[in-house]
Structure 1
């Protein structure tokens, strides 16, 4: 190694003379000069450079950054690492306690009079696996705070009477003697939430993420063009007894998410945020040509059929496309087709995950 280094230093000026490099003031070239002496003194050079801890950059930097909301991420990354260390310490302690607990399999031998062949069938039963479920995440703080029903009706283009009626029905269902909402109540409103679906056995073991948005229109300002409203459609768990998280459409019904909000504290305490939705009719059988289910806007007394639900009833996002006749309505756009079309196709081809859950359920 020393001979190779001496040869390099003897001939390196050729590279400078031909203009390939202007100098060799490189930190690594300087550190190489100490390698031979360090090996004679300390042995193998493992760990003398950054190759061995390079993988820790992913564990401690990239994964920590992904767990943040990408704003003020340094503090969040440090907190995330502290929590990972706390979990690791706790897991190590639990493993240590379980290893010392008397009566485990390692403490029982045949000399104690126990024969594995004589154990009862009950002891052979495996612990059932937990059923995979959909989870959600939402912003720590709402985007809009203390908004009145009048503001909601104007901004979100909703009928205030329908919203109050739907919320009253929800409160009566979940509370014994509820305080019903009034016109002066104020609400905290979120822009969106993120769903994490169970792994699809036909694709991979990774979980799929969906984003559910309920964004009102933003009017034009000076040079800024108007931004149309976005109210995503989703499949709602209408019948929990028929619904299975990992496959199929049983127990699900499409709806349009019109608003995501918190229940005001004076009306009661609820574990999850709430969603104000407009129902579509239950999915009809698939058409023979397209293979797609159809649905329509659900109404009551010629008004939208609305409801307030807990956000944990949102199973997954869905794509509804307007069903056209031979003459296509050119006024349809992505922002108004859900209001103008009469019948809609439930599109299973928008995502491989959605397709496999429908076809192979």
Structure 2
């Protein structure tokens, strides 16, 4: 694939939560930061599917598997076995890049260092114990801000005192805010089909929520999904794609019991219904939680692709009404956001694809499980 075609594919990718959008492609980047390299790794495989031969795709997938697995915050014999398998698959297929003249050889120190990861994890623990990257941002919070709070004379005791106060304030805020949380759990309920005696609804452009924690975190990472109508800045609107729990089989990880859908509207039913004289209370059966209207994609296949490890879905045919199949459900049924790769082909109409219309114009998609470490552990 040439630079122009690769840039065109990258430019046409839909937006994703926590994912940088390269609006001008990547071929013109002169100095690439570590953050940019990470964002490239999240999207390159999906842009190469269909143009790179199977051995190359397998090698890239295996290398990505190794990178994501090596960042697990906990490890056991099973996950270390996954690391060995990924490394073996990479070595079995890496000769593709020599055969197509990408490089004369792959005797690179960084590639050799991969063979020492498993031993290092067994000896010293998970890689986050000796990776300085996770603490790099804290230098600003704990050193620079702390120093500015001092009088710049004998600053170290003052900085320590300032840090202790910040910690106490954080714990107080958390304890105080927790007193306002509703202790009763939320339950999914079936929606009754009935004519609504209302003409107006509260509609929202987005909502934020905490993902289910996968390890020992107090709470999961924040996620955000959007359903934004057309505007001058968004001529096609922005309607994110999500993973929806549809059966009791659904869990916090894996795609069993889930479907992929596109969020079209976020709304809430009113507590009071307009009536002559005075408003009347809404029926008890009406959900009290916000609701979402989701348009469905086809059901997920039983297994992902062996080559690239991603599930393929498509747009279903419109119903008799002309609308795509959809459903109203509680927002609590939405487990997480997700990002879709359009399935690229050699078609002229794909030259018109861009990040705002590709979800409307493309017919088939791949579910991107590389968009974050969280998605890698939950979308499989």
| TM norm structure 2 | 0.48
Determine the C-alpha separation between the residues in 2 that align with 1:254 and 1:200: 21
Determine the C-alpha separation between the residues in 1 that align with 2:308 and 2:207: 31
Instruction: Tell whether 2:346 aligns with 1:326.
Output: yes
Instruction: Tell whether 2:360 aligns with 1:339.
Output: yes
Match of 1:257 among 246, 253, 263: 263
Query: What are the Cα deviations for residues 242-278 of structure 1, in whole angstroms up to 9, with x where unaligned?
Result: 1112x21111101111110111333534221000111
| Shift in CA distance, 84/256, structure 1 to aligned 2, threshold 3 Å | closer
Which structure has the higher relative contact order (CA within 8 Å, separation 6+)?
A: 2
Where structure 2 has 5 or more consecutive residues not aligned to the other structure, the ranges are 1-149, 274-281
Where structure 1 has 5 or more consecutive residues not aligned to the other structure, the ranges are 1-25, 33-47, 65-79, 88-132, 136-169, 220-224
Taking only aligned residues, the RMSD between alpha carbons, in angstroms, comes to 3.6
User: SS where residue 291 of structure 1 aligns?
Assistant: coil
User: SS where residue 379 of structure 2 aligns?
Assistant: helix
CA contact (8 A) 2:210 2:219 kept: no
Q: What is the aligned partner in structure 1 of residue 176 from structure 2?
A: 83
User: SS where residue 300 of structure 1 aligns?
Assistant: coil
Instruction: Tell whether 2:195 aligns with 1:180.
Output: yes
Shift of 1:325: 1.5
| Shift in CA distance, 260/332, structure 1 to aligned 2, threshold 3 Å | same
What are the residue-to-residue correspondences of 1:1-361 with 2, within 5 Å? 51-52=160-161, 54-60=163-169, 80=173, 83=176, 173-175=190-192, 180-181=195-196, 185-201=199-215, 207-219=220-232, 228-239=236-247, 241-245=248-252, 247-265=253-271, 266=273, 268=283, 269-284=286-301, 285-298=303-316, 299-301=318-320, 302-327=322-347, 329-359=350-380
Determine the C-alpha separation between the residues in 2 that align with 1:193 and 1:86: 22
User: SS where residue 303 of structure 1 aligns?
Assistant: coil
| Shift in CA distance, 263/293, structure 1 to aligned 2, threshold 3 Å | same
| TM norm structure 1 | 0.50
CA contact (8 A) 2:238 2:356 kept: yes
Determine the C-alpha separation between the residues in 2 that align with 1:207 and 1:82: 18
Query: What are the Cα deviations for residues 6-29 of structure 1, in whole angstroms up to 9, with x where unaligned?
Result: xxxxxxxxxxxxxxxxxxxx9898
Report runs of 4+ in structure 1 exceeding 4 Å deviation: 26-29, 48-51, 84-87, 203-206, 225-228
| Shift in CA distance, 50/86, structure 1 to aligned 2, threshold 3 Å | farther
CA contact (8 A) 2:269 2:288 kept: no
Shift of 1:314: 0.4
Determine the C-alpha separation between the residues in 1 that align with 2:260 and 2:328: 14
| Shift in CA distance, 341/63, structure 1 to aligned 2, threshold 3 Å | farther
| Shift in CA distance, 227/55, structure 1 to aligned 2, threshold 3 Å | farther
Shift of 1:226: 5.4
